Structure 1
Amino acid sequence: MTKVHQYIFIFLASLLTFGCGEFYKLEKSTNWDELYEAANRYYDEGEHNKAIILYDRVLPVIKGSGKAELAEFNYAYAHFRTKRYIEAAEYFKTFFDTYNRSPLAEEALFMNAYSLYLDSPDFNLDQRSSREAVNAIQLFMNRFPESDSYERSITMIDDLQKRFEEKAFTESKMYYRLTEGLFPGDFYRACIVNFQNFAKSFPDSDYNEELAFKLVEVSTAYADRSVFDKKEERFEQALEFADDFEKKFPESEHLKDVSNIKSEAKAKLDDHYTIKEQYKARTAEAIRLREEEKKDQEDSEALKEEGN
């Protein structure tokens, strides 16, 4: 190592030691003005973790003073810059609730929503936090409809809605796969309800055609596997789903398949009607014969009584 390199190394080490020593002294200091200024300086220099530590010490002391507003705003942003989005969201909301007349209030409420948005998970995970983000974004949009961040908020809402849609579609496919198991009855019912709810929740989804086709498939299979007394009702429902599909998706690649399923369902329903009529006729005949037998028995007993 050359002497020049040695000097540079010693200089940098001195700066590091001085910096660490300075921060250590600040952590122990009770000079609140000095702490306040240092916290703001560290924040401005991008030393957000150090800023948070000092703000944690000074904020309870300066609370309610003229210095608190900027310190609390920086404190929230320091958490945001270090990707502690849940904490940042909480601090931005607290800032807005405390200083709702501040020039920084609009930004704070937006950052509350944006922090929750950034913390929201991928579509295949629990979406409860995403719904909290949607509520926060809508609150911001309602409170500041003229904001420059309004269009950005709409984009965030659209993205979150897409995650809800993907999550719902994944769940629908899961129910559909379960109908191929050993005990499909409950899953047939779950599929039918799930597919219908999906269409109500996401009427403009590109997935609606696929799920509407699967609804025809599942409802027909469900009717076919149902007990005799439920077949008529369920086949009629399956045919209604098929009619709805043909009306809503007249250009679908599934149209021919739906037509075939519909024809098979009608044939099975007609067979069911035939069996039902035959059953009614046999039942009526059995009742008639039983009544005749009963009458003959009563007449025979009456004759015996007359003979006695």
Structure 2
Amino acid sequence: MKKGILILGLLMVTVSCSEYQKLLKSEETAPKYAAAEKLYKEGEQEDNKKKLRKALTLLEKIEPEFRGKPQGERLVFMLGDTYYELGDYFNAPFQFERFLQLYPNSQKAEEARYKIASSFYHRSPKFNLDQTDTRKAIEELQVYLNTYPEGEFVSTANDMATDLRIKLEKKAYEIAKQYHHTEFYKAAIASFNNFLADYPGSPFREAAYYYRFDSAYKLAINSFQVLMEERLKSAKEYSVSYKKYYPQGEYLPQMEASLNEIEKKLQNF
């Protein structure tokens, strides 16, 4: 019984593949269009990559033949969306941009605009790599949000934008912290100053305030005597900023220990 079912299944797959190959070789566009749409819908609903790839092959073949025809709008969108569903986030935004240029008033325009931004979101790399695609994704998400402030995908788009901004913040914070850890204290202070100015609501803000102080403190205690007093006072000023915003902060015990050392050294002057 099991063997019979298996053989029947294999025969159906073979027939299906044979019909698909005949369809690819056919000169008729109408059957290809119907098959492409069927495979696209089934592949999307079932998350079936094999069907989506078959649909893509057909769509790429017939899309040029329907340009300027009523079916053209549907085909261009399906082509972009098939790339998107297959995880091809390089071809998908290109096709969606083309769709918006050709059919700016389409009912699918909002979805196309969102999926352009979403494609760049998925292309965004880890925080320690080049963030060109991350910035592009934020830009495209903002275009979507500005164009469709009450749109279907607003909540998801806002979540994506938040994720990407945190990634940029983390990169900027880690660069400054790396300067601190490698004892380039002047560069660390400058980087933390920039970070605090650029990202006022960052979750890394408290740590940035502390490590800016710590960089200034370590710069001071490792300075020549002629520079030490001024740098110790500067470090104290940074501690005031930290305490202003974080009076019960996580780094307060370490900071107080360093401030005691600063006071002892200042007495020598």
Normalised by the size of structure 1, how large is the TM-score? 0.77
Q: Distance in 2 between matches of 1:256 and 1:110?
A: 47
Match of 1:61 in 2: 65
Q: Structure 1 vs Structure 2: percent identity of aligned residues?
A: 31
Match of 1:248 in 2: 245
Q: Please say if 1:43 is aligned against 2:40.
A: yes
Q: Distance in 2 between matches of 1:113 and 1:175?
A: 33
- Once the two structures are overlaid, the 10-residue window that deviates more, 119-128 or 87-96, is 119-128
- 1:61 Cα deviation after fit: 1.6
Match of 1:174 in 2: 178
* Alignment counterpart, residue 80 of structure 1, candidates 80, 84, 87: 84
Q: Distance in 2 between matches of 1:232 and 1:92?
A: 61
User: RMSD of the alignment, in Å?
Assistant: 2.2
Secondary structure (helix, strand or coil) at the match of 1:45 reads: helix
Instruction: Give the paired residue count.
Output: 262
Counterpart residue identity of residue 190, structure 1: A
Contact kept? 2:83, 2:92, Cα under 8 Å? yes
- Once the two structures are overlaid, the 10-residue window that deviates more, 42-51 or 256-265, is 256-265
**Cα displacement string for residues 235-285 of structure 1 (whole angstroms, at most 9, x for unaligned residues):** 33222212222222222253354344334335534545xxxxxxxxxxxxx
1:265/1:67 Cα in 2 relative to 1: closer, same or farther (>3 Å)?
Answer: same
Contact kept? 2:121, 2:137, Cα under 8 Å? yes
Counterpart residue identity of residue 22, structure 2: K
Counterpart residue identity of residue 14, structure 2: T
The structure having more radius of gyration, on CA atoms, is: 1
**Cα displacement string for residues 118-170 of structure 1 (whole angstroms, at most 9, x for unaligned residues):** 33233344332121111110010111112132222111111222222333333
Contact kept? 2:177, 2:211, Cα under 8 Å? no
1:46-195 matched pairs, under 5 angstroms: 46=43, 47-179=51-183, 187-195=184-192
Q: Please say if 1:217 is aligned against 2:214.
A: yes
1:271/1:42 Cα in 2 relative to 1: closer, same or farther (>3 Å)?
Answer: same
- 1:193 Cα deviation after fit: 1.3
1:229-308 matched pairs, under 5 angstroms: 230-269=227-266, 271-272=268-269
Counterpart residue identity of residue 164, structure 1: L
Counterpart residue identity of residue 103, structure 1: Q
- 1:5 Cα deviation after fit: 4.6
Contact kept? 2:90, 2:119, Cα under 8 Å? yes
Q: Distance in 2 between matches of 1:41 and 1:70?
A: 13
1:35/1:232 Cα in 2 relative to 1: closer, same or farther (>3 Å)?
Answer: same
Secondary structure (helix, strand or coil) at the match of 1:83 reads: coil
- 1:108 Cα deviation after fit: 0.8
Secondary structure (helix, strand or coil) at the match of 2:90 reads: helix
Normalised by the size of structure 2, how large is the TM-score? 0.87
Counterpart residue identity of residue 20, structure 1: C
- 1:175 Cα deviation after fit: 2.1
- 1:228 Cα deviation after fit: 4.9
- Once the two structures are overlaid, the 10-residue window that deviates more, 163-172 or 150-159, is 163-172
1:10/1:242 Cα in 2 relative to 1: closer, same or farther (>3 Å)?
Answer: closer
Contact kept? 2:166, 2:202, Cα under 8 Å? no
* Alignment counterpart, residue 198 of structure 1, candidates 195, 199, 203: 195
Extract unaligned runs of 5+ from structure 2: 44-50
Extract unaligned runs of 5+ from structure 1: 180-186, 273-308
Match of 1:29 in 2: 26
Secondary structure (helix, strand or coil) at the match of 2:68 reads: coil
Match of 2:47 in 1: none
Match of 1:8 in 2: 5
Q: Please say if 1:18 is aligned against 2:22.
A: no
Q: Distance in 1 between matches of 2:87 and 2:119?
A: 9
- Once the two structures are overlaid, the 10-residue window that deviates more, 241-250 or 254-263, is 254-263
